[in-house]
Structure 1
Amino acid sequence: MRGQPVVAVVAPLTGPRAAWGAVLLDQVERARAEGPGVTEWHVHDETPGTPAAVAAGGYAAVVGHSDRGAAREAAPAYREAGVPCLLPFVRAGDGAGVGAGDGTLSWAPDEVSFARTVAEGAAALGAGALAVVHDADEAWAGLAHRVHAEATAAGLDTGPGTGPAGALVVLAAQDRVARFLPAPGAAGPVLVPVDCGVPAFASLTAAARGRAVWAVHPQTCAVRRARTAVTALTEALRDGPALRGAALSAAVRARSGSLLTASCSGVLGDGWRVSRVPAVCPARAVPSRGAPTRC
């Protein structure tokens, strides 16, 4: 590939994670409109064969991935090809299974601090016990294990007989949370992972009415994380269209609107908050596609 730098965008185009793809594609369209001619963007569906094709495609960089497992499997191919990988939605390093450094930059908060925040939130809400229900997905099951461990370490009862007044943690996609919620008026708080930048947030707000549902959400929403990553990459390639590999990674990090950690595993000081669902700021939507633009 010659001339204009070409970037691979790896995003889920269909299925349960398509909303994350919509968030990323909206920011790519924004970059195209604001900097025409700076970068060419090639969109790839996040499928098992995509990383190998991208790694062999001569791309300047890759941005995207919404699934931690897929990102973990893709990392060696990108690293071997010397292609910087920008992860707005997936954590790198810190035991996340996706290597930090070597061209990988992440803007996502980590699951260890999520689990700790859930346990601390339940205790702060006066619960002495905590129960976890999760969707039928390996990633949710793994996160449930982390939450159990942190709750036990915090002194919360996590046994099967936690009682109706204990806290309930629901681990599922926002548009699937409703099926796990207790009846309106039930005792005990409910804590749910939330990202207001994803369109499905609207379905969660509707399901939470009449219930003591608390959102456990990143300090920086998906829209801002995607925008920060795409903007930093666009600016780096605008200023140095020939940059590749480690030099391009360094240029992206230098232009990130949010300071990354020394290992580039996430945003320095970023983490999770616990808020009432109505208090979480929803992202605005683009009428033409429904993808959020900003909080």
Structure 2
Amino acid sequence: MSAVMRGQRVGIVGPLTGPRAAYGEWLRKAVQGSSLPLIWADDAADPVVAVAAARRLLAGGAGVVIGHFNSECARSAGALYQAAGVPLLLPAATAPDLCRTVGAFRLCASELQQVTTIVDYLAQVYTQVEEIWSDGSPYGERLALALQQRLLPMTRQGASQSVCALMGSHVAVAAEIRRRARPGTVYLVPDDCVVEEFGELLAGTGVITLCPHAAPDFGDCARMALRFVAAAFEEGCAVREYLDAHADFDQGQYRHADYIMKWHEYSTFPGHDKGRHHHAT
């Protein structure tokens, strides 16, 4: 590591506790074994807690921060990092405006790409959307509105298959699916539902889900963020300067991030589920 960067710590922050802790565990596994000097903080997927976590990281000497899987946490905490001149790298926060409003660098694709991938796939398979539901969160509302604007005009009679779109956190979406108790129903769910815990929550429901999976996935994005930071440190370059000049980034967005649509069928008998994968074009 360059002497210029020696002593700089890398903040790692995410939902280590609370209802989104499954993502925190994913983050822990993704960065395990890193040789960089790490300092951890828990944002509990709560914007208020995220601000306190950001203050702890800054006070602890973090010169760059990786994390905040929740977009509203990234938005609230990102303003503090931006004011302090500390770059924020996002492995999983998908709100479209974050690169611009808080000067973040995003490794995953944004919600705009997620919606485009969904719409393009549904257009190919002539699927009719019966309903668009949201859990009321900012994330769920953004996706539901974008889908209403893009999907409803293309809904057609005589479609070969119909789906119900449920937008929101993986916990809320799973709870809604269980509440409806409609085995055989096809549910379009958002990228938050890629976490393993979602499958555990749907065990035995007999439903089918259609979900956009981030490519690279959120764990790979966290590992990639660490590699970019390490490369900047090795060159003795400020992380923001390094990423601004990097050919793989365009206005803070990693150019190669995308989504792949995947089906998953859940048996009415727990332990007998199977996945059917389709790569969207």
Q: What TM-score results when the alignment is normalised by the length of structure 2?
A: 0.75
Deviation at 1:144, TM superposition (A): 1.0
- For 2:251, give the aligned amino acid: S
Q: Is the 8 A contact 2:26 2:219 kept in 1?
A: yes
Distance 2:124 2:39 in 1: 46
CA gap 1:139/1:18 in 2 versus in 1, 3 angstroms: same
Q: 1:26 aligned to 26, 29, 36, which one? A: 29
Offset of residue 207 of structure 1: 5.2
Query: Quick one: distance in 1 between partners of 2:171 and 2:101?
Result: 34
CA distance in 1, matches of 2:26, 2:133: 27
In structure 1, list runs of 5 or more residues that go unmatched: 158-164, 282-295
Q: Which residue of 2 aligns with 1:14?
A: 17
Counterpart CA distance in 2 for 1:195 and 1:108 is 12
Q: 1:204 to 1:234 in 2, by over 3 A?
A: farther
Aligned counterpart, 1:260: 248
- Cα deviation, 1:201-252, whole Å, max 9, x if unaligned, reads 43266356x4342222222211211111122223432x14x543533545xx
Equivalent residues of 1:194, 1:217 under 8 A apart: yes
Q: Which amino acid aligns with 1:155?
A: M
- Say which SS state the counterpart of residue 132 (structure 1) adopts: strand
* Secondary structure, counterpart of 1:114 in structure 2: helix
User: Shift of residue 63 of structure 1?
Assistant: 0.9
Q: Per the alignment, do residues 118 and 180 of structure 1 end up closer, same or farther by CA in structure 2, a change over 3 Å counting?
A: farther
- The unaligned stretches of length 5 or more in structure 2 are 44-48, 265-274
Q: Secondary structure at the match of 2:213?
A: strand
Deviations 1:15-68 (A, max 9, x none): 12222222222233221xxx3xxx321101112322234345432211111111
Instruction: Quote the residue 2:104 is aligned against.
Output: 104
Query: In the alignment, what sits opposite 1:183?
Result: 182
Cα–Cα, structure 1 residues 178 and 29, in superposed 2: closer, same or farther, change >3 Å? Answer: closer
TM superposition shift of 1:3: 4.7
Identify the structure with the greater strand proportion.
2
Task: Say if 2:79 is the partner of 1:76.
Answer: yes
AA of the residue aligned to 1:273? I
Q: Which amino acid aligns with 1:85?
A: L
CA gap of 1:179–1:133, structure 2 versus 1, over 3 A, is: same
Aligned Cα root-mean-square deviation (Å): 3.1
Cross-structure match for 2:52:
49
Instruction: Decide whether the 8 Å contact of 1:107 with 1:260 is kept in 2.
Output: no
**Contact map agreement 1:17 1:66 (CA 8 A) in 2:** no
1:83 Cα shift?
1.0
Q: TM-score, normalised by structure 1?
A: 0.72
How many residues are matched?
Answer: 252
2:269: which partner in 1? none
Please tell me whether residue 206 in structure 1 is matched to residue 194 in structure 2: no
